[in-house]
Amino acid sequence: ADALGIDWTTDWIRRTAQVVHDHRVELVTLDREIGDGDHGENLDRGFTAVIAKLDSLPADAVPGDALKLVATTLISTVGGASGPLLGTAYLKGAGVVGKDEQLDGAALVAFLTAARDGVVLRGKAEPGDKTMIDAWTPAVDAAVAAQAEGRTPAEILAAAADAAEKGAEATEPLVARKGRASYLGERAIGHRDPGAQSSSLILRAAADAAAG
């Protein structure tokens, strides 16, 4: 009864585009501190392109179709490292949900796990490297735990979003070992990773869409 379908998926995508747009200056500022200052603009460009294509989905589209659209659009329109990384997350996540019309808790856990694994496959970051993985990995762990406790899909996504927020915050004291921030050495200490922050916003949008 609580399973999430195409309406949740497109609502998540629309909320993501909105939140990325609203937070683009914050994300640019974070990226200016330890990168090249384009992260907010990169994601805003990517998700604006996604929204332009969303209405062209067929009437019988399933969640996996919308997620694949996000993947291919991010990969083709986002110039920065985050485009292929997040694009691979959506692509691998779309792959595991396949043609399912409704995503229950187990499907959401499988989706989040595959998405995180996709980022790792593409970028080879480990937890603690000060990347978006530091938001995704605690999110997956929290989703697994919530699902094991029999929580609803909305509760699973809320747990994932809470954990991602804490994970993003926890990147602040870290030295970066992947991406542009790794060139800074100890100077990256004290700054939050922009990709971890944007991933926590994306996962909060997923939870908000499920909460209705």
Interface residue list for Mg ion (CB under 5 A):
31, 35-36, 38-39, 80
- What is the largest distance, in Å, between two alpha-carbon atoms of the chain? 51
CA gap 186, 169 in Å, rounded: 17
Residue 88 beta carbon to ligand ADP: minimum distance, rounded to whole angstroms: 10
Q: Nearest residue to ligand ADP, using CB? A: 195
Give bridge partners of residue 4 from the DSSP assignment: 103
Residue 174 beta carbon to ligand ADP: minimum distance, rounded to whole angstroms: 11
Residue closer to Mg ion by CB (options 82, 152) is 82
Residue 62 beta carbon to ligand ADP: minimum distance, rounded to whole angstroms: 28
Question: What residue ranges in 28-183 does DSSP mark as E strands?
Answer: none
Instruction: List, in order, residues 6 or more apart from 171 with CB less than 8 Å away.
Output: 130, 131, 134, 135, 192, 193, 196
196, interface contact from ligand ADP, Mg ion, none, CB < 5-8 Å by kind: ligand ADP
Residue closer to Mg ion by CB (options 149, 183) is 183
What's the Cα-to-Cα distance from 110 to each of 32, 67, 75, 91, 106, rounded to whole Å?
34, 14, 22, 13, 6
Query: Left if phi > 0, otherwise alpha if psi is -120 to 50, otherwise beta: which for 56?
Result: alpha
202, interface contact from ligand ADP, Mg ion, none, CB < 5-8 Å by kind: none
Residue 20 beta carbon to Mg ion: minimum distance, rounded to whole angstroms: 14
Q: Which residues bind ligand ADP (CB under 6 A)?
A: 31, 35-36, 38-39, 42, 80-82, 85, 119, 123-125, 131-133, 178-180, 193-196
Residue closer to ligand ADP by CB (options 30, 210) is 30
* Helix axes 194-211 and 82-97, enclosed angle (nearest 10): 30
* Helix axes 6-22 and 39-54, enclosed angle (nearest 10): 150
Residue closer to ligand ADP by CB (options 5, 79) is 79
Residue closer to ligand ADP by CB (options 31, 155) is 31
Residue closer to ligand ADP by CB (options 46, 105) is 46
Which residue, chain included where needed, has tokens 């609803």? 152
Give residue 154's identity as a one-letter amino acid code: A
Residue 41 beta carbon to Mg ion: minimum distance, rounded to whole angstroms: 9
126, interface contact from ligand ADP, Mg ion, none, CB < 5-8 Å by kind: none
